[in-house]
Amino acid sequence: MADGGLPDVVPLPGLPEQVTIWEVGARDGLQNESAVIPAAIKVEFIHRLADAGLPVVEATSFVRPDWVPQLADAVEVMASLERVPGVRYPVLVPNKRGLARAVAAGVADVAVFASATETFAQRNLNRSLATQMEMFDPVIAGARAAGMAVRGYVSMCFGDPWEGRVPRQQVVEVCRQLLAAGCDALSLGDTIGVATPGQVTALLADLGAAGVPVGQLGVHFHDTYGQALANTLAALQCGVSTVDASAGGLGGCPYAKSATGNLATEDLVWMLDGLGIHTGVDLAALAATSVWLAGHLGRPSPSSVVRALS
């Protein structure tokens, strides 16, 4: 190991020179915490993430507050946020009501979240796989008309806790629907963290064959089975250069049984730093943020790199 808690830099051929880390700790991370975190702590968490150099800090969700009480303070969080110029602060919105609340809160960047499976569409959205786009279409159109960026998440791309194996063409079809509706980018979610690298490569190949540009794709791996970094490397080798991660490895989905934390941002940055891939993130500042937040959550961070550095 080089001095200063950083890996030696040895690049691998065929990888992107720069990766955009889409930080989801304040949303995916905190939506799953049983402890009630005061809005002021959330706001400080978001400020510290932006100060650590993260270019995209997903801030909260404008979903039904009784569905996700952990993020019921979305209005308060957005009102207190001091935005760093150049940093994006997207929020999740499922429907027109969510978009209206987000617009009133001064949001300029949103994400809808679709399911690749019937059961998760029912459980997470109270919609069917066939009707979820009826909810998203007006949101995407309205947000685009207002000049917003609109990301489309697709959950359960690599496996579903109720349905098991998920046919890749089912995932491709949902991706096509989201892009046709006007999303400018997609995030492929391994919601329960079961994927392995061959699956990632195969899905990205199928999406490429369906005409989806790899530049519009991000990957979103949960680390339940410890495969998230291996899956990320497979995605980078296919040309993906947007990777979702959560500071300290927080995360999960209250409506997906067996989902644990996201790929930890620190684990991702350690690997990308070692590969000489630019992220703009200050690893020491980020790890210190996760240690600070762990103090508020009352348990240590599950990230290997946070543990090693502290």
Least distance in Å: CB of 25 to Mg ion? 11
* Number of residues counted as binding Mg ion (CB under 5 A): 1
User: Which one of Mg ion, ligand HMG, none is in contact with 95 (Cβ closer than 5 to 8 A by kind)?
Assistant: ligand HMG
Type of residue numbered 307? R
Type of residue numbered 79? A
152 to 191: interface string for ligand HMG, x by CB under 6 A: -x-x---------------------------------x-x
Among 44, 51, 64, 292, binds ligand HMG (CB under 6 A): 64
Of 46-54, 64-72, 76-84, 295-303, the segment contacting ligand HMG by CB under 6 A is 64-72
What is the rounded distance in angstroms from the CA atom of residue 70 to the CA atom of residue 60?
10
User: Hey, what are 148's tokens?
Assistant: 């917003």
Type of residue numbered 293? L
What is the rounded distance in angstroms from the CA atom of residue 233 to the CA atom of residue 268?
10
Among 113, 136, 158, 270, binds ligand HMG (CB under 6 A): 113
**Among 230, 229, 214, CA closest to 266:** 229
229 to 258: interface string for ligand HMG, x by CB under 6 A: ------------------------x-x---
Least distance in Å: CB of 168 to ligand HMG? 16
Which residue in 157, 175, 238, 253 is the catalytic one?
253
Least distance in Å: CB of 269 to ligand HMG? 20
User: Which one of Mg ion, ligand HMG, none is in contact with 89 (Cβ closer than 5 to 8 A by kind)?
Assistant: none
94 to 113: interface string for Mg ion, x by CB under 5 A: --------------------
Question: Binding to ligand HMG by residue 220, rule CB under 6 A?
Answer: yes
Among 94, 142, 152, 302, binds ligand HMG (CB under 6 A): 94
**Among 263, 248, 261, CA closest to 293:** 248
C-beta of residue 271 within 8 angstroms of C-beta of residue 232: yes
Local structure of 131: helix, strand or coil: coil
- 253 noted as active-site residue: yes
The angle, 0 to 180 degrees and rounded to 10, between the axes of the packed helices 228-237 and 197-209 is 30
Count CA atoms within 13 Å of residue 173 on its CB side.
Answer: 12
For 97, the enclosing helix (H) or strand (E) is helix 96-104
Least distance in Å: CB of 31 to ligand HMG? 6
Question: Binding to ligand HMG by residue 273, rule CB under 6 A?
Answer: no
C-beta of residue 243 within 8 angstroms of C-beta of residue 19: yes
Q: Which single residue brings its beta carbon nearest to ligand HMG?
A: 189
For 154, the enclosing helix (H) or strand (E) is strand 149-155
| Cβ count within 10 A of residue 43 | 21
* Number of residues counted as binding ligand HMG (CB under 6 A): 26
What is the rounded distance in angstroms from the CA atom of residue 251 to the CA atom of residue 47?
19
Question: Binding to Mg ion by residue 28, rule CB under 5 A?
Answer: yes
**Among 125, 135, 213, 207, CA closest to 172:** 207
Q: Enumerate binding residues for Mg ion (CB under 5 A).
A: 28
Q: Enumerate binding residues for ligand HMG (CB under 6 A).
A: 28, 31, 61-64, 67-68, 92, 94-95, 97-98, 101, 113, 124-126, 153, 155, 189, 191, 220, 222, 253, 255
List the catalytic residues: 253
